[in-house]
A and B are shown apart, each in its own frame.
Chain A
Amino acid sequence: MPTTIPIGLNVNGIRHELNVEPRWLLVDVIREQIGLTGTHIGCEHGVCGTCTVLVNGETARSCLMLAATADGAEITTVEGLSTGETLHPLQAAFREAQGLQCGFCTPGMLMVAHELLRENRSPSEQEIRESISANLCRCTGYQGIVDAVGLAASSQASAPAAR
């Protein structure tokens, strides 16, 4: 039997105790052992960003992280954005502005956009493009995504409570 090591991951607020092979990538542990398949695999060399999650609150490419390194970390995936039937305001903005087509890049894009809006409450178009250029989309040509993030920003601005 290959050697495994025990790790603990806090994913979307739930603690998971797992035994992982040291070489297992965080994205595979999220998808397979934890069973959250919203985080996707697109390239496995850190270029496309479909595997993007939040690790301790910061975006990171989960295909470039060993699950073992993430021991003890707080991970947020796309499943952690929406609660029950309600879409997160950012997801609602993506729907309104049609910031998606096939949906494969979308979870990663949402994490990057989420972080951007947390750090910059009214980003310019150029700032949005710079931020989302970390993630590839092959369907939209990015315009719907840029519009979605802009829409979310302005909704956020007029909303009473910070998210």
Chain B
Amino acid sequence: MATTERRWIGKDIPRLEDPKLLAGRATYTDDVKLPGMLHTAVLRSPHPHARIARIDTSRARALPGVFAVATGEDAKEMTNPLPAFCAEPVVQYCLAVDKVRFVGEAVAAVAAVDRYTAEDAVALIDVEYEPLPVITDPFEAMKPGAIKLHDPLPSNLAFEKTLSFGDVAADFAGADRVIRRKLRWHRASAQPLETAGAVCRYDPITQKMDVWSNTNMINYVGWLIANTIKVPAAKLNIYPMYVGGSFGSKHVLGKIIGIASMLAKRSGRPVKFMEDRVDNLIASENLACDRFYDAELAVAKDGVFKSIRVKVVDDYGAYFQFGHGTHGNALAQVTGPYRMGSFEYTVQCVLTNKCQQGVFRGAGSDAGNFCLERLVDAAAQELGIDRVEIRRRNFIAPDRFPFKTPCGNVYDSGNYPAVLDRALEMSGFAELKRMQAEARAQGRYVGIGLATAHQRSVYGPTEFWFWYDSPGLTTAPESVGLSLGPTGEFVVTMFSPFWGNSPETVVAQTVGEEFGIDPSQVTVTYEDSQHALPGAGPGGSRMTVMLTGAVAGAARKLKDKLSRIAAHQFEAAPEDIVFADGGAMVKGSPDKSMSYGDLGLKAYWYKLDLPPGMESGLEARHTYDHPYLTKPSADRKDLGAFYPMMAHGAHVPVVEVEPATGRVRFLRYVAVHDVGTIVNPKSLRGQITGGITQGIGMALYEQSAYDADGQPLTASFMDYLLPTAQEVPRFEIGHVETPSPFTEYGVKGGGEGGRMIAPAAIASAVEDALAPFGVRVDEVPLTPERIVKLVEAARR
């Protein structure tokens, strides 16, 4: 538990973001309207793999109301390939060039007076395709001689590597038993309710491109986007927007910005491109992991885990834009909360004729947790040890932190037994077992699930490249501006977008804490990229840590100046100035105080009252870099600290399964999370309940499915199933707080944990429910038919 008494950090304050969101007055990307703005529709490939023989856009161009049409040939001329996070370039343009490689790939785009007309025009574009053989099975795609998706690459195996840490061979040789499981984690999709989009306005005289977009990483990879759209980086200006959810799917949006920018240049008018829902479902830049695990856990007969070997084949779809980052971050916690001394991780990234992967909340660690926790449950079963007990036996003890894992990543702090205890207590575990026994006697199949798993937070960018030998970027910052105006009002300026997390509230609470004012008095504003400081933006559960750090840093700078002003005023020492109760005062002398209004006015208008040499004004800008990032060793035997803010959680879902129909009903869901110091409890709880709901989606409802011919089967919301309020229970959320020693206030990130842990826990619950049949759960999502088939197979 937190030992520091704080005034605002840790309190439930109403969110600053909410009033305008509730009134329907926030500006999302589709709300942007510029004079003369055109609207875009995109022609997409109906073929999973084909050469583009001929495109005739003449009929589309002739349609009244159409101002510009672009094809891949135009993309080759007007843009550069999209930025990619991997070393081997898998060239991709924003419109397909020469070939289409998945159903839904953008082939042509039209800008017209309205979206209706743009779609009319798209229907008038004639494309002649020469279909090519289709590859959808990653194991087939890997084989030498398989039809290649990309001619320049040696094969569809875009990347393959084994990383090994500690003495894996010895640990396996010395094990009493090796638990082996093959597991399947299907492709899902983030599907925020707001689709991705951009409005681009180009001025050919100044070469300035203004972009309003729900994209992210504006002040991180903005210059790469500029290169993609062939605009000088200093002339690209991106406005951070209110974003209707992202969950990782809106990180770069190079294709969308590429298309809109091309049409803006060509038409001479601002152009808006908003994906529609079908676009987002079949051609999003960010589908999620599609994995085949073959994993082994080496154990001693007393249940102690010695080592783990993970082999994973990941079906990346047709492009490799985000690379194997979803494996990099998973390396942060391959061994989870357990004490193993070694591990080996082999990844094979394969290209197939499907829409590409990107990242979706959890970003690979969700699947990694599923793999590990399935093995742990399996170990418990095979060794005949209680699954709660086996976890306790292997937990890293609370006094062992900071803990260095076999690969070099560090866990900053944690108390896994306390989290588990709290979950067991909240769920009334013993009583649950009794209830389950009674239910079984009545012929009902009730299951109690358990997962104790990690939720790494605040990514370090080394995870994008430590799979390779050559080094890469080592910066992942976040910045804010903080000013105190002549009326005593604080303004925080942010440079990264709002995703539905609570960045404005977090910075306001931090300012409140630092300066002793009510957070509701803080004004938060956003600035465009031409005036911004570096920032990677939300994602990877980093924002709360990074913003509190950035604000604290700016606050220190501002307080330094304020204390010198106040000290000068009262002829005191700057070290004796404290900040509380709406102003600054000399410690111990309440009569010697100045309100923030006084200080502000003084700083802006009374230069001659300031200490000699001091500039007027009161503004501080601060770039907060990753608080604990170290380089990997050259031989990659030590990957350094790249995700050391390690949060953790224990989930206990209780389900009832109907074997005849495969229906799963939640009776209860208990989740205890330890994300270090909590900044805003309600906001965190919302992240957890939302994350678990996405985890329920992954476990039971969501799959971006393709048939064997590469046709998408889930191209509408009638087929890609997001949980509604009737599919999810009331969640019982508990907290433990082990502060991080490396961050401001000891905060860790908690945005992804729900989705990173729930699928493993729910798989555990369904398996437990069907234990009387001897069912093993190795696959998610557990659709009703899959459950019925599992029961039938077990019965045979």
Binding site for B on A (CB under 8 A): 21, 23-24, 28, 31-32, 36-45, 47-48, 50, 77-79, 81-82, 87, 91, 94-96, 98, 100-107, 110, 125, 128-130, 132-146
Shortest distance between the CB of A75 and any CB in chain B (Å)? 14
CA gap between A44 and B194 in the complex, in Å: 12
Which 7 pairs of residues, A with B, have the shortest CB-CB distance?
Answer: A38-B24, A102-B500, A104-B244, A103-B21, A141-B689, A141-B693, A78-B24
CA gap between A36 and B724 in the complex, in Å: 27
Interface SS of chain B: loop
Determine the residue in chain A with the shortest Cβ distance to B247.
Answer: A138
B694-721 residues with Cβ-Cβ distance < 8 A to A are 694, 716-718
CA gap between A7 and B688 in the complex, in Å: 46
Inter-subunit contact B690/A40 (CB<8 Å): no
A39 partner, pick from B24, B193, B728, beta carbons under 8 A: B24
Interface SS of chain A: loop
Binding site for A on B (CB under 8 A): 14-15, 17-19, 21-28, 30-31, 114-116, 191-195, 242-245, 247, 274, 276-277, 498-502, 682-683, 685-694, 716-718, 722, 724-726, 728, 730-731, 754
Q: Which residues of A contact B717 (CB under 8 A)?
A: 43, 45, 47-48, 136
Inter-subunit contact A138/B725 (CB<8 Å): no
A141-B691, A142-B693 in contact; A87/B23 too (CB < 8 A)?
yes
Q: Which residues of A contact B242 (CB under 8 A)?
A: 102-103
CA gap between A14 and B765 in the complex, in Å: 54
Inter-subunit contact A102/B243 (CB<8 Å): yes
Inter-subunit contact B22/A138 (CB<8 Å): no
CA gap between A142 and B730 in the complex, in Å: 9
- B24, B28, B500, B687 — which one has the most chain A CB atoms within 10 A of its CB? B24
B686 partner, pick from A31, A44, A50, A98, beta carbons under 8 A: A98
Shortest distance between the CB of A130 and any CB in chain B (Å)? 6
CA gap between A145 and B726 in the complex, in Å: 13
Shortest distance between the CB of A127 and any CB in chain B (Å)? 11
B19 partner, pick from A95, A129, A132, A137, beta carbons under 8 A: A95
Determine the residue in chain A with the shortest Cβ distance to B39.
Answer: A32
A139 partner, pick from B18, B22, B277, B686, beta carbons under 8 A: B686
Determine the residue in chain A with the shortest Cβ distance to B22.
Answer: A91
Give 29 A-B contacts (CB < 8 Å), ordered by A residue: A28-B115, A36-B24, A39-B24, A42-B277, A44-B277, A45-B718, A47-B716, A77-B24, A78-B24, A91-B22, A91-B23, A95-B19, A102-B242, A102-B499, A102-B500, A103-B17, A104-B193, A105-B244, A125-B730, A135-B724, A137-B725, A138-B193, A139-B245, A139-B500, A141-B731, A142-B725, A143-B685, A143-B689, A144-B682
Inter-subunit contact A138/B689 (CB<8 Å): no
CA gap between A1 and B691 in the complex, in Å: 49
Inter-subunit contact A138/B718 (CB<8 Å): no
CA gap between A128 and B498 in the complex, in Å: 28
Inter-subunit contact B726/A130 (CB<8 Å): yes
Q: Which residues of A contact B722 (CB under 8 A)?
A: 48, 136, 138
A38-B25, A95-B19, A101-B501 in contact; A145/B243 too (CB < 8 A)?
no
Q: Which residues of A contact B24 (CB under 8 A)?
A: 36-39, 77-79, 106-107
- B193, B498, B687 — which one has the most chain A CB atoms within 10 A of its CB? B193
Inter-subunit contact B21/A100 (CB<8 Å): yes
Inter-subunit contact B689/A37 (CB<8 Å): no
A82-B23, A102-B499, A103-B21 in contact; A40/B116 too (CB < 8 A)?
no
Inter-subunit contact A139/B690 (CB<8 Å): yes
Determine the residue in chain A with the shortest Cβ distance to B25.
Answer: A38
CA gap between A47 and B687 in the complex, in Å: 23
Q: Which residues of B contact A45 (CB under 8 A)?
A: 277, 716-718
Determine the residue in chain A with the shortest Cβ distance to B682.
Answer: A98
Q: Which residues of B contact A129 (CB under 8 A)?
A: 725-726
Shortest distance between the CB of A37 and any CB in chain B (Å)? 4
A37-B24, A87-B22, A95-B15 in contact; A104/B693 too (CB < 8 A)?
no
Inter-subunit contact B18/A100 (CB<8 Å): yes
Determine the residue in chain A with the shortest Cβ distance to B718.
Answer: A47
Inter-subunit contact B277/A94 (CB<8 Å): no
Q: Which residues of B contact A136 (CB under 8 A)?
A: 193, 717, 722, 724
Q: Which residues of A contact B682 (CB under 8 A)?
A: 98, 144
Q: Which residues of B contact A94 (CB under 8 A)?
A: 18, 22
B22 partner, pick from A40, A110, A133, beta carbons under 8 A: A110
B689 partner, pick from A47, A100, A144, beta carbons under 8 A: A144
Inter-subunit contact A103/B277 (CB<8 Å): no
Q: Which residues of B contact A36 (CB under 8 A)?
A: 24
Inter-subunit contact A42/B193 (CB<8 Å): yes
B194 partner, pick from A40, A130, A141, beta carbons under 8 A: A40
Q: Which residues of B contact A79 (CB under 8 A)?
A: 23-25
Q: Which residues of B contact A101 (CB under 8 A)?
A: 245, 500-502, 686-687, 690
Inter-subunit contact A141/B728 (CB<8 Å): yes
Q: Which residues of A contact B17 (CB under 8 A)?
A: 103
CA gap between A148 and B673 in the complex, in Å: 23
CA gap between A27 and B28 in the complex, in Å: 16
Shortest distance between the CB of B287 and any CB in chain A (Å)? 15
CA gap between A139 and B31 in the complex, in Å: 20
Shortest distance between the CB of A35 and any CB in chain B (Å)? 8
> Apart from A48-B193, A101-B502, A102-B243, what 20 extra A-B contacts exist at CB < 8 Å?
A24-B116, A39-B24, A42-B194, A47-B716, A78-B22, A78-B23, A95-B22, A100-B21, A102-B192, A102-B498, A103-B22, A103-B242, A104-B500, A106-B24, A129-B725, A138-B192, A140-B689, A141-B689, A141-B728, A142-B728
